[in-house]
Chains A and B, each alone.
Chain A
Amino acid sequence: MNVVRLAGGRSVLLRPRAAAVGTGLVLLAAAIGVVSIGSGDYPMSPAEVVRTLTGGGDPAQHFIVNELRLPRVVTALLVGAALGLAGALFQSLTRNPLGSPDILGFTQGAAAGAFLAVVLGGGSLALAGGAMAGGVLTGVVIYALASRGGLHGYRLVLTGIGCTAILTGVNGYLLTRAQLMDAARAMLWFTGSLDGRGWEEAVPLLAGMAVLVPVVLLGCGRALPVLEMGDDLASGLGVRVRRLRLVLLAAAVLLTSLAAAAAGPVAFVALTAPQVARRMTKAPGPNPLVSMCTGAALLVGADWAAQRLFAGHQLPVGVLTGLLGGGYLVWLLIVQRRSGRI
């Protein structure tokens, strides 16, 4: 950990290990992305993929890469990054490694919105919009319920659990009201899938992240570790706790909802990415940037594996992350229990 002093009395904290890990993850994600683009019914070598991406290649390759396969990989990278960042923020705000959108109820909220859109007979645009609205609305409700008399980590988590239980009931009801075809479509969406994602899914997500990520990383990045030390200490160090928390919570909810609108609520990426990042960087406190990179690498890798794992059978990526994340979660619960952190 080195402090670099700049002119004018400003200073920047450099963490060589975090920087190395982050760079490594970005390269890994890019490598998996290239391999993923290259594999399929029309296989291409990584060199061909890179040449096509940089403007070379013949028209057929150009069409396959830029129109068919690149959007899916870009969506995977963006969704993974958004979920990784949102998870880091939630875990930091609740001061709990289990504070993830899966457990706090946003997943179910987004699903309720999406199911409602399906039951009312909307297309895929309505589905994405419903997911977005449902996630944000759930966030507002949970915040309103949990923030009376100051927001506490555990109260936020428990309020989320209560809302999840209610919404699970509502979702089950909506699912029974739908036709079987619609129910299957809603379930597929609810599991989280990147099948057939095009630029129209990637672009809104990219636009949202272009606004939210700088706000979080540049605007709040310094104050976030201080916030973890407790409200009193943070106030003493000059952090405006209430406002900061509201901004971070809003950003995390928006990121989760945007990601859900693009790919469905892919399970457990938001939970695992920050934990994996923390273990790799061995740095204390939240690691928003590295968590983003981890999430992106994780999701693009999981999507690639889910397409190849069973020959002739494409799994939705959410099944794989759900199973991996579920196992990881149980392990985490046991380890954290031993060290008394949960």
Chain B
Amino acid sequence: MSAPASAQELEPRSSGERPPAARTALRAAGLVGSLLVLLAVLTLSIGVGARQLSPGEVWQGLVDSQSAAHAVVHQMRLPRTLLGLLAGAALGLAGGVMQALTRNPLADPGLLGINAGAAAAVASAGAFLGVATFDGYVWFALAGTATVAALVYAVGGGRGATPARLALAGAALNAALYSYVSAVMLLEAASLERMRFWTVGSLASAQSTTVVKVLPFIAVGLVLALALARPLNALALGDDSARALGARPALVRTAAIAAVTLLCGAATAACGPIVFVGLMVPHLVRALTGPDLRWMFPYCAVLAPVLLLGADVLGRVLARPGELQVGIVTAVLGGPFFLYFVNRAKMVGRS
């Protein structure tokens, strides 16, 4: 895929009157600021819990194996925080890629049934094949994710789909797949006991081994997605223009579905289906960066974990001494966001 003749021509000119250099500096500064926010949330996520740790104690616990907080930080809070970081980045970026790919503002891995595909595959693997470890079912989750991603894209009408049509196709698949999942849970009490916690979407069961195992999938997905920013930018101009700019539309779409599959499949296998992160983050980010995906994707990857870990911390604070699973917090926070979005007349169109 050769580089476009001039990057200037690809630059969407929507974010005002500033000269490009100043805009770039501003966006870079914003990205650094976002990273600082992420750092703060990471500290918070390690610090908040049954035993509160100050930022200083968190640092001590991280680096000093003699400190009192070492065990708590390393055995419990760090895996959970790292998993939240990875899953958040994966889901946010997957949402961004999906919205760019379908040119559809309502695209979200949860709403379009892609997470449900992973859930159905994991439920089947657990109930019929006795697969109960992350190693085993991550492959099933990836297979389920890939199948549903391709299906919803094809069924929802590919490029020509209206937002509402795609959301509807996704909702239909969601309903079908979750009815299958509940049937499986019902037929086997053991999988109910296991799955009822998994289907909510939670970081609570995170272990350092899970983090290590999920890392390669998400890392490959992240790199692939970030590399797709430029060709997807070109694709936004329509297939003919994209071809003229040197992008190969069919290849880009396939690669984008592969990236979504890796990101969502791995994240869902590790923490269960989490909705709305992939919907909310790209929209908030677009307000900051404008529509240029080369900036949007990095911002998504940084700010989505802020949202996910923030929701996780909120869940721990709200329901003390127990906790609200992060999937519930994002559903309850994200739902109103979605409803607000739907109620803007533009989205509904003529209907």
Q: In the complex, which residues of chain B have a beta carbon less than 8 angstroms from the beta carbon of A329? A: 172-173, 175-176
B261 within 8 A of A: no
Q: Which of A79-87, A166-174, A218-226 contacts B (4 or more CB under 8 A)?
A: A166-174
Q: Are A322 and B176 in contact (CB under 8 A)?
A: yes
Q: Mark B314-345, 1 if CB is under 8 A from A, else 0.
A: 00000000001101101110111011001101
CB-based contact A323/B110 at 8 Å: no
Distance of A180 Cα from B186 Cα, bound (Å)? 12
CB of B272 to closest CB in A, whole Å: 9
A149 CA / B345 CA spacing, docked (Å): 10
B193 touches A180 (CB 8 A): yes
Min CB–CB distance A133 → chain B (angstroms): 20
Q: How far is the CB of A90 from chain B (nearest CB, A)?
A: 13
- Decide if A325 is an interface residue (CB 8 Å cutoff): yes
Known: A153-B351, A187-B192. A161 touches B155 (CB 8 A): no
Asked if B180 CB lies within 8 Å of chain A CBs, one says yes
* B343 A155 Cβ-Cβ under 8 A: yes
Contact A170 B332 (CB under 8 A): yes
B179/A268 in contact, CB under 8 A: yes
Q: Contacting B349 at CB < 8 Å: which of A154, A166, A172, A319? A: A154
Given A155-B342, A184-B189, A337-B155, answer yes or no on A165-B110 (Cβ-Cβ < 8 Å).
Answer: yes
Is the interface on chain B under 10, 10 to 19, 20 to 34, or 35 or more residues? 35 or more
Determine if B324 and A158 form an interchain contact, defined as CB atoms under 8 angstroms apart. no
Query: Nearest B residue to A154 by beta-carbon distance?
Result: B351
Q: A172-B196, A326-B176 are in contact. Are A158 and B183 (CB under 8 A)?
A: no
Which residues of chain A come closer than 8 Å to B165, judged between CB atoms?
342
Over the window 198-223 of chain B, the binary record of Cβ atoms lying under 8 Å from chain A Cβ atoms (1 yes, 0 no) is: 01110000000000000000000000
| Cβ < 8 Å to B, chain A residues 281-338 | 315-316, 318-319, 322-323, 325-326, 329-330, 333-334, 337
Q: How many residues of A contact B (CB 8 A)?
A: 52
- Residues of B near A330 (CB, < 8 A) are 151, 155, 172-173, 176
Would you give the 0/1 interface string for A262-288, flagging 1 where the beta carbon is closer than 8 Å to chain B?
A: 000001100000000000000000000
Asked if A172 contacts B200 (CB within 8 A), the reply is yes
Q: Judge if A28 is at the interface, Cβ distance under 8 Å.
A: no
Whether the pair A184, B175 counts as a contact (CB closer than 8 A) is: no
* Contact between chains at A267 and B338 (CB < 8 Å): no
Whether the pair A342, B168 counts as a contact (CB closer than 8 A) is yes
Known A98-B168, A155-B351, A342-B169; judge A162-B335 contact (CB<8 A).
Answer: yes
Question: Is there contact, CB below 8 Å, between A157 and B332?
Answer: no
A-B contact count (CB 8 A): 163
Determine if B308 is an interface residue (Cβ-Cβ < 8 Å).
no
Interface centre among A153, A172, A173, A323 (most CB of B within 10 A): A172
- Is A163 in contact with B183, judged by CB distance below 8 angstroms? no
Q: Which residues of A contact B351 (CB under 8 A)?
A: 152-155
8 Å CB contacts to A: which residues of B89-113?
106, 110-111
- Whether the Cβ atoms of A325 and B343 lie closer than 8 Å is no
Partner among A107, A172, A316 whose Cβ is within 8 Å of the Cβ of B186: A316
Q: Are B186 and A154 touching (Cβ within 8 A)?
A: no
CB contact between A158 and one of B169, B196, B348 (< 8 Å): that residue? B348
Partner of A318, one of B164, B179, B342: B179
User: What is the bound-complex CA distance between A191 and B179, given in angstroms?
Assistant: 7
CB pair A190 B182 closer than 8 Å: yes
| Residues of chain A with a CB closer than 8 A to B182's CB | 187, 190-191, 322
Residue of A nearest to B179 (CB): A322
Known A155-B342, A165-B111; contact A172-B327, beta-carbon cutoff 8 A: yes
B348 and A155 contact, CB distance less than 8 A:
yes
SS of B interface (majority): helix
B172 touches A165 (CB 8 A): no
Q: How far is the CA of A337 from the CA of B193 in the complex (A)?
A: 38
Shortest Cβ distance from residue B281 to the other chain A in the assembled complex, whole angstroms? 16
Encode A131-161 as 1/0 by CB contact (under 8 A) with B.
0000000000000011011001111011101
B171 touches A173 (CB 8 A): no
Q: A166 — which chain B residues lie within 8 A by C-beta?
A: 331-332, 335-336
Q: Does A53 contact B (CB under 8 A)?
A: no
The answer to whether A103 and B171 have CB atoms under 8 Å apart is yes
Find out whether the CB atom of A180 lies under 8 angstroms from the CB atom of B276.
no
Q: What is the CA–CA distance of A283 and B328 in the complex, to the nearest angstrom?
A: 44
Residue from B164, B168, B196 in contact with A103 in the complex, judged by beta carbons closer than 8 Å: B168
Given A152-B351, A172-B325, the answer on whether A333 and B183 have CB atoms closer than 8 Å is no
Query: How many angstroms between the C-alpha atoms of A149 and B336 in the bound complex?
Result: 18
A30–B348 CA distance with the chains assembled, in angstroms: 44
B175 near A267: Cβ-Cβ < 8 Å: yes
A residues 50-109 touching B (CB-CB < 8 Å): 96, 98, 102-103, 107
Docked CA distance A89–B193 (Å): 38
Q: B86 near A: Cβ within 8 Å?
A: no
Question: Closest chain B residue to A187 by CB distance?
Answer: B186
Residues on A with C-beta less than 8 A from B347 are: 158
Residue of A nearest to B315 (CB): A173
Residues of A within 8 A of B171 (CB): 98, 103, 157, 161, 164
Q: Does B121 contact A (CB under 8 A)?
A: no
Q: How far is the CA of A333 from the CA of B177 in the complex (A)?
A: 14
- State the CA gap A168–B338 with chains docked (Å): 15
Query: What A residues does B156 contact at CB under 8 A?
Result: 337
Q: Which residue on chain A has the smallest CB distance to residue B165?
A: A342
Closest partner residue, chain B, to A177 (CB atom): B322
- In the complex, the answer to whether B197 meets A176 with C-beta atoms within 8 Å is yes
Q: In the assembled complex, how far is the CB of residue B129 from the closest CB belonging to chain A, in whole angstroms?
A: 19
A176 close to B325 (CB less than 8 A) = yes
Besides A103-B168, A175-B200, 8 other A-B contacts (C-beta < 8 A): A155-B348, A157-B164, A159-B342, A169-B327, A180-B193, A191-B179, A323-B183, A326-B177
6 A-B residue pairings within 8 Å (CB atoms): A157-B171, A165-B110, A165-B275, A173-B325, A188-B186, A322-B179
Q: Which A residues are closer than 8 A to B by beta carbons?
A: 96, 98, 102-103, 107, 145-146, 148-149, 152-155, 157-159, 161-166, 168-170, 172-173, 175-176, 180, 183-184, 187-188, 190-191, 267-268, 315-316, 318-319, 322-323, 325-326, 329-330, 333-334, 337, 342
The 4 A-B pairs with the shortest beta carbon distances in the complex, nearest first, are A169-B331, A326-B176, A166-B335, A322-B179
